[in-house]
Amino acid sequence: MKHFSRYILSAVLTASLCGMMCSCSLEENNPGGFTFENLSKTTAGFQTIVNNIYFGLERSFYGNVNKIDFMAITEAETDLWTTPRNKDNTSTQYFWYYAGGTPNTTYTLNFLYSLYDGIGSCNKVLQYGDLPPYKTEEERNSKLAEARFMRALYYYHGVEQFGGITVVTEKDTEIGEGVYTPERKSPKATYDEIIIPDLLYAIEWLPKGDDSYITRPTKKSAIGLLARCYLQATRWTEDAEYYTNALKYAKMLIDDMNAGGASYNAYMYDKYEDVFAEANNYTNKEALWKHAYYSDATYNGSSNGAHVLNMCHELFRAQITSFPARENNADTYETWEGSKNGSFMPTQHLISLFVNSDNTLDPRFKKIFQNVWLANKSYTWTKDMANQYDKDASVIGQTVAVGDTAIEFIMPQDPDYAAKKAQRYTSKHMIIDYADVYNDAGKTVEMFHKYFNTTEAYKADGTNENFHSNFYPSMTKYNTTKFFESNRSKIRFGNTSAMQIIRMPEMMLIAAEADLKVNGGSNALSYINMVRKRAGAKELTGTVTIRTILDERAREFCGEFMRFYDLARTGMLKDDNYLNETNPSVGKYFKAEYVLRPFDTSTFLPSINNGSEYQNGGYASGAK
C-alpha cells in the first residue's frame, strides 16, 4: 500500500537477530508506557504494526540504492551485466567478485539490518494478531497472511544470499544468552519450516484482490512466490518433490489464466509492449506482485528521502552524457528516456541471446532496449571531440540542435545497418557500430579502438582507449515519468512508479524447468513457447535443456532481480566454467565460495560469540 507508518519504527526491532546488532527491546526504551500489546487492542493501532512489515523492504530491497544496491546482488556478477565500458569500478563486491582482491566483508551490514527489521516486524504482527477486535476471523487471518507472505519473502532472500541463516519467529520474545551464539538453520530447513508454511497460509487467507493492489500481496502473489520458492529450493536439495510442487503451483496460475482469471485474477498481456507501458504501471494485470514507493510533500515514503527510493530507472542507461549533446538536467530527467548515466552495461552474451539463428532480432530487443537518444543540448563539433570519436574532419563546426538525433547504436541485424555503418564517420550525430563496442570472438567489450581517421594522438594499431563503448543498448523496463520532486536544483526526484516483481510469464518458465525434471521435459517446450508466442518471437523446436530455459529467462527477465538466483539454482556457479564461457571478464574473478555473500565483519560478527564459525567460507570472520 502507499502510506506506511513510521512512528513505531523503534519498536519493530524485536528480540531477534537484530538484538545482536545492539538494538534494544521496547521495554528498555518505552516512552509514555507505549507497548505493542496496547497498540494491538484497536484495529487501527494494529494496522500500524502491519504497515511496518514493509519497512525492511523499503530500506534495501527492489530499487532503493541508499543502503545496498539490491539490483546488483541479484543481477550483477552474472552472465548478463558488466560495469559501464567494462572498466574498473569502486564497487567490485557487486560486479567483479572483488576483482581478485581481498573480499569486502562489510557491505552486507545494511542488508542484514533491513532483512531482520522486516522479519521482526512480521513477527510482531503474528505475536499480537489475536488481540485486535476484528469482526471476523477472515479479516484477522488476512492480516496475519500479509505478514507471513512478507516474512517468507525476507527469509527467501536471506537464504539465497547467505545460505544458512538464523531463523527467528514470533515465539522469540526475550533476549537471552543464546542470542549471542546464534545457530544457522540450513537453507532446506528454512524453506520447509518457515518459507513454505508461511506461503501456504498466505494462499489460504490473502484476498483475491484486483489489479489496483500495490505492495499488499494477494492470493496470486503468494501462489507465484511459492512456485518460485519451491523451484529455488532445489538449489539445496535433490528431493524431486520440490520440482513437483513448483510445477503444481505454477500450473495453478497458468490454468487460472487460461480460464479467464476467475479464481486468482491471473492474466498475461497479449502484447509484450503492454507489460512495461507506463499506462499499465499501477494497474498492471500481468503482475502477480508489484511494489511502488510513495512520496508527497510531507512524507517521502522512506526515512532515507524520496530521491533514493526506486532508482532502477537510472541503473541501465549508457554513458550518454559523454557526448556533449546530452546533459543530465532536471527537465530531461523527468522524461521517459532521462539523462543520468547508469551502472549496468549489457554483456555481449546478453545481447547475443536476442539474435536468432536466422540472424534476425528477437522482437523483445527493440522493445526493452533503447538505442537512439535525441539531443537535449545544442552542440557544435570541435576538432578534439571529432578526433576522439574517429570522425572525419568534415563534421568539425557542424551543430547538433536540441531535438536532433544525438546518439544511435546500430546492430548488424538492423535493416539499414550497412547504410548507417557507412555514415558513421561523416554523420553529425554519433553512430556507434555494435562491432565498435562488442567483441563476439572474445565475448567481451572492446577495450581498445582501431582508428580509421588517424591523427597523432589516435592511431590505427588498436592501442587507444575505446571511447565508443560509452554508448550501448540501455534497458528501459524501469523508464518512467512518474516522479516526486524532492530537490529540483540537485536533480533529485523520487520515482513513484511500480515495479513488477513477479510476472505471469515466470510461471510458464518455472513450469518448463520443473517439467524438465518431473516429466523429462515432455511439456517444457509448450510452456516456453507460450512466453515466446506472446513476445512475437519464433517458437522453438527440438529438445529442451536447462540452458534453453536459462536463455529464455534471460530474454524475458533480464534486469528483474533474479539472474544471480537462476545461475546459483541451476549449478552454473558451482565453478567458473559457465561464467568464463559467457562473461569471461567477470568469470576470471569468480570463486565457488563467492556464490554466498559474506556476513558483515564490521558490526555483526564481532557482536556475537561464534563469529568465526558463523561466517561463510572464503571470507574473513572479523570475530571478536
- pLDDT at site 1: 30
What pLDDT, in 10s, does the model give residues 96-145?
Answer: 999 999 999 999 999 999 999 999 999 999 999 999 999 999 999 999 99
Between CA 551 and CA 556, with CA 553 as vertex, the angle to 5 degrees is 110
* Alpha carbons within 13 A on the beta-carbon side of 616: 21
Instruction: Please tell me which residue, 489 or 373, carries the higher pLDDT value.
Output: 373
- Judge contact between 257 and 267, C-beta under 8 A: yes
pLDDT for the residue 5: 24
Mind listing the pLDDT tens digit for each residue in 374-406?
999 999 999 999 999 999 999 999 999 999 999
Around Cβ 462, how many Cβ atoms within 10 Å? 12
Return the pLDDT at 32: 53
Give the pLDDT score at 492. Answer: 85
Supply angle C-alpha 161, 165, 167, rounded to 5. 130
| CA-only gyration radius of the chain, Å | 25
Q: Which range is least confidently modeled, 249-263, 327-341, 502-516?
A: 327-341
In this prediction, residue 309 has a pLDDT band, given cuts at 50, 70 and 90, of: confident
Query: Which residue's entry shows cell 533491513?
Result: 114
Query: Given the C-alpha cell 537471552, which residue does it identify?
Result: 176
pLDDT band at 430 (very low <50, low <70, confident <90, very high): very high
What is the overall mean pLDDT for the chain? Answer: 91
Output the pLDDT for position 202: 98
Range 216-222 average pLDDT: 98
Predicted confidence band of residue 307 (pLDDT cuts 50, 70, 90): low
CA distance 583 to 589: 11
β-pairing verdict for 379-380 and 372-374: unpaired
Three cell numbers at 200? Answer: 501456504
Q: What percentage of the chain exceeds 90 in pLDDT?
A: 83
**104-132 burial by CB neighbour count: b if 16+ within 10 A, else e?**
ebbbbbebbbbbbbbbbbbbbbbbbbebb
pLDDT for residue 306 = 58
Q: Higher confidence at residue 575 or residue 338?
A: 575
Q: What is the pLDDT of residue 218?
A: 98
Write out pLDDT tens, residues 493-533: 888 899 999 999 999 999 999 999 999 999 999 999 999 99
Q: Which residues contact 248 (CB under 8 A, 6 or more apart)?
A: none
Give the whole-angstrom CA distance, residue 431 versus residue 406: 9
pLDDT at residue 69, rounded to an integer: 84
- State the pLDDT at residue 11: 29
Tell whether pTM > 0.85: yes
pLDDT in tens, 563-588: 999 999 999 999 999 999 999 999 99
- 177 vs 516 pLDDT, higher one: 516
Query: How crowded is residue 205: how many other Cβ atoms within 10 Å of its Cβ?
Result: 21
Strand ranges in 113-251 using DSSP code E only, listed in sequence order: none
Q: What is the number of H-type helices and E-type strands within the chain?
A: 25, 17
Look up cell 531477534; give the residue. 16
- Specify the pLDDT at position 39: 94
Residue written as grid cell 557491505: 107
Residue 545 scores a pLDDT above 80: yes
Among 166, 150, 193, 155, CA closest to 49 = 150
Specify the pairing of strand 345-346 against strand 81-82. Answer: antiparallel
